[in-house]
Amino acid sequence: MKSANLFGVGLVLTASLIAMVPAMAQQWPERPITLIAPAGAGGGTDATARLLALGLEQQLGQPVNVVNQGQGGGVVGFTSITTAEPDGYTLGVIYNFAHYSPMGQGDFDAADMTPIGQFNFDPAGFHVRTESEWANVTQALDAIKADPGAYDIACGGGCGGSWPLAFASLLNTYEVDLSQVRMISGQGAAAALQEMVAGGFDVVPSSVPEAGSLIEAGLVRGLAVFGSERLAAFPDIPTLEEETGLVLELGAWRGLVGPAGLPEDVVAKLKTALEAVYNDPEFQNAMTERGFGLRWRDADDFGAFMAEEETSVRELVRVLGL
């Protein structure tokens, strides 16, 4: 009789434990979440990550702490994201990353991340000094196509970055011989724009806001923005499609990811939370006021976009010989 009682107690305990498993899984998050920004403090990735963190805290009910890891041009941060324990407590705000691996700067790929969603896109701009002989972007592209090695094009920072690769993608679409194009690395877009004003470069691709003060001062002219529509703050700068007929959206983007292998229940909660944050007027207003573009891609679309970008960017890196 005693054995039977013990057996019965064991069954009750086992059933209780089984019943607790789904309940425990549903408790995520039970503690603070780390949100890695693969960039230094004060930049665009840091700023958008902090805005996102505020919204995610409200949605998930736990603190979301932004940690800046911009060392190695962001390689340290990306490595931390992709090698983290896939438990939902380490996430990352990522940006254009596909150039790192083929350039030998980092060992991570789209497959090493779990996409949650894209929330930002900032189109590149095609900038020349005001005295440039090119009155529009078609004239500029035709001239570069005719003699690709005759012009100095600034990369801003490294030539694998968002803006120079957006520019290279445009040239490639325009059937310019990229192997002959002279792209020069430097100390960032701001320095490159100043050097262009002084006569050092013929073209600087960068975000339009980065060139905004020089445009307003009449020293730089924006020939085109690489987005689907004109920017509200710079309504006089046409889109590529308006000027050339090319339907291209090229520039910098940011999205939320976790390491590969995140549990499905965690991913589901993150998807719901991120979409809620993105649709919150406070978040959208805060992004817009700071000059950041809004762009939504859900997890599936974002994952497909990351894979496509990886393929196209790596081909550009190969052709450019970077």
pLDDT single digits (tens) 100-145: 988 888 999 999 999 999 999 999 999 999 999 999 999 999 999 9
Q: Which 3 state secondary structure label does DSSP give 301?
A: helix
CA angle 262-107-266, nearest 5°?
Answer: 10
Backbone φ and ψ for 103, nearest 5 degrees, come out as: -90, 5
CB atoms within 10 A of CB 254: 23
pTM, 2 dp: 0.82
1.10.3090.10, 3.40.640.10, 3.40.190.150, 3.40.50.300: CATH of 33-121+252-320: 3.40.190.150
The residues of the chain that CATH labels 3.40.190.10 are 123-244
Distance CA 22, CA 13 (A): 16
Cis amide bond preceding 259, omega within 30? no
Q: Take residue 112 and report the two structure tokens written for it.
A: 């090493």
Amino acid 223: pLDDT: 97
Answer yes or no: are the C-beta atoms of 225 and 239 closer than 8 Å.
Answer: yes
CATH class of 123-244: alpha beta
The residues of the chain that CATH labels 3.40.190.150 are 33-121+252-320
174 sits in the region (left: phi over 0; alpha: psi -120 to 50; else beta) called alpha
CB atoms within 10 A of CB 19: 9
Amino acid 143: pLDDT: 98
CA 36 to centroid of chain Cα atoms: 13
**HSE value, Cβ hemisphere, 13 Å, CA-based, for 274:** 28
CB atoms within 10 A of CB 74: 22
Nearest partner of 171 among 321, 306, 316, 322, judged by Cα: 316
Distance CA 281, CA 259 (A): 29
Amino acid 11: pLDDT: 46
7 sits in the region (left: phi over 0; alpha: psi -120 to 50; else beta) called alpha
Bridge partner residues of 33 (DSSP) = 64
Query: Could you say which residues of the chain have pLDDT below 70?
Result: 1-26
Which contiguous run of DSSP H or E holds residue 104? none
Distance CA 118, CA 96 (A): 12
